[in-house]
């Protein structure tokens, strides 16, 4: 069966997975208002193409934190990829390396960071750090990441507690218990015989703690989950290097703005001082162009990567990335943009629909 778009991958992936696994991957918080609006909000934006321009050559390359990537389409941190494919994050990392884009590895990956990096040693890797109450664990993790060549730390800020995910509860899936079992220590430390520390994120981590985090790493720190101008301004004030505008795919607090809607507010607030990215609801190349037109440096994909894994493993992830890149290439050509730098706000308008 030909899988021609991300919607095809979604439909096929659902057939490959158990109901419990599918509900975990797709699961939204509460009534799913934000989950659905993430996608619907893109459709409220219309394109304003410019014609009679030379589009014989299209260049989708860009940079993030000074690193070149082949397209402004990267991979968000999502947990437990082995739910969808046995090799899990190792397959995801290989596909990202082949595509020459950034992969943000989750704290709750199915494999150790050492195993994932070994599978794709030439890849551009960032790490999603859920800050732990035990700062010794945070420091040890940062040291491991720096030694392995990670290029940035992504601090997810919107999970002081887990959102109300009804699907998991109906399936009797205790996500908190699974997270508590995740051992964040290095392979060597696990052999020490000492009991594993719990790994739930700290509920007390706040702005005042950022200097301590910055003092233990030389890596740029990116905040994921910012949705307001007030927090964006605080990020700049605290010398944060980037923001991923995100509502956790509608899995945390329901009835917050769609990511693409919050993007405008955040971009305006930082006023070019730091890079801004976004995730949530991107399903087509048109969506990517709209996000870039609103000021995102690149977009990050969550669920579609898992769909690709469930369908074809590493090759499925690569196909998902290739489809989106090709759709962006076409959209750029049809809109009169020869390079990512030519994508500007005047290419879009907001529909009354």
- Evaluate whether 300 touches 281 at the Cβ level (below 8 Å): no
248 is in an annotated binding site: yes
| Cα(327)–Cα(290) distance, integer angstroms | 12
Instruction: Supply 99's token pair.
Output: 């595509």
151 is in an annotated binding site: no
| Cα(186)–Cα(350) distance, integer angstroms | 49
192 is in an annotated binding site: no
128 is in an annotated binding site: yes
106 is in an annotated binding site: yes
Active-site residue, selected from the candidate residues 81, 125, 248, 315: 248
Pairing of strands 62-64, 67-69: antiparallel
283 is in an annotated binding site: yes
79 is in an annotated binding site: yes
303 is in an annotated binding site: yes
Nearest to 91 by CA among 53, 119, 131: 119
104 is in an annotated binding site: no
CB within 8 Å of 207: residues ≥ 6 apart = 234, 238
273 is in an annotated binding site: no
Instruction: Supply 311's token pair.
Output: 């369908």
295 is in an annotated binding site: no
Q: What are phi and psi of 148, to 5 degrees?
A: -85, -5
238 is catalytic: no
Nearest to 219 by CA among 65, 334, 322, 335: 65
Q: Which residues are annotated as a binding site for FMN?
A: 77-79, 106, 128, 130, 156, 224, 246, 279-283, 302-303
- Catalytic residue list: 248
Q: Which residues are annotated as a binding site?
A: 77-79, 106, 128, 130, 156, 165, 224, 246, 248, 251, 279-283, 302-303
Q: Which residues are annotated as a binding site for glyoxylate?
A: 165, 248, 251
């Amino acid at each position: 069966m030909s899988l021609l778009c991300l919607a095809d991958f979604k439909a096929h992936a659902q057939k490959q997975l158990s109901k419990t696994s599918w509900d975990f991957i797709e699961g939204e918080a509460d009534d799913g208002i934000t989950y659905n609006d993430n996608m619907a909000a893109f459709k409220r934006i219309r394109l304003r193409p410019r014609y009679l321009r030379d589009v014989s050559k299209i260049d989708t390359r860009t940079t993030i934190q000074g690193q070149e990537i082949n397209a402004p389409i990267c991979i968000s941190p999502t947990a437990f990829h082995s739910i969808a494919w046995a090799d899990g994050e190792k397959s995801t990392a290989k596909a990202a390396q082949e595509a020459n884009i950034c992969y943000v590895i989750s704290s709750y990956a199915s494999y150790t960071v050492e195993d994932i990096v070994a599978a794709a040693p030439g890849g551009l890797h960032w790490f999603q750090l859920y800050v732990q109450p035990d700062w010794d664990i945070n420091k040890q993790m940062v040291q491991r990441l720096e030694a392995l060549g990670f290029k940035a730390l992504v601090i997810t800020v919107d999970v002081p507690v887990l959102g109300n995910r009804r699907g998991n509860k109906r399936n009797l899936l205790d996500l908190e218990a699974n997270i508590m079992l995740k051992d964040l220590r290095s392979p060597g430390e696990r052999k020490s015989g000492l009991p594993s520390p719990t790994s739930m994120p700290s509920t007390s981590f706040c702005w005042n703690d950022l200097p301590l985090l910055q003092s233990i790493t030389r890596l740029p720190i990116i905040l994921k989950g910012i949705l307001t101008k007030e927090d964006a301004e605080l990020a700049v004030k605290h010398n944060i290097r980037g923001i991923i505008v995100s509502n956790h795919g509608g899995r945390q607090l329901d009835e917050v703005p769609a990511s693409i809607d919050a993007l405008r507010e955040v971009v305006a607030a930082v006023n070019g001082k730091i890079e801004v990215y976004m995730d949530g609801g991107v399903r087509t190349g048109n969506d990517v162009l709209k996000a870039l037109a609103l000021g995102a440096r690149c977009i990050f994909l969550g669920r579609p990567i898992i769909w690709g894994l469930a369908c074809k493993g590493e090759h499925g992830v690569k196909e998902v990335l290739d489809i989106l890149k090709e759709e962006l290439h076409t959209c750029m050509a049809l809109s009169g943009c020869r390079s990512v730098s030519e994508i500007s706000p005047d290419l879009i308008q907001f529909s009354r629909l």
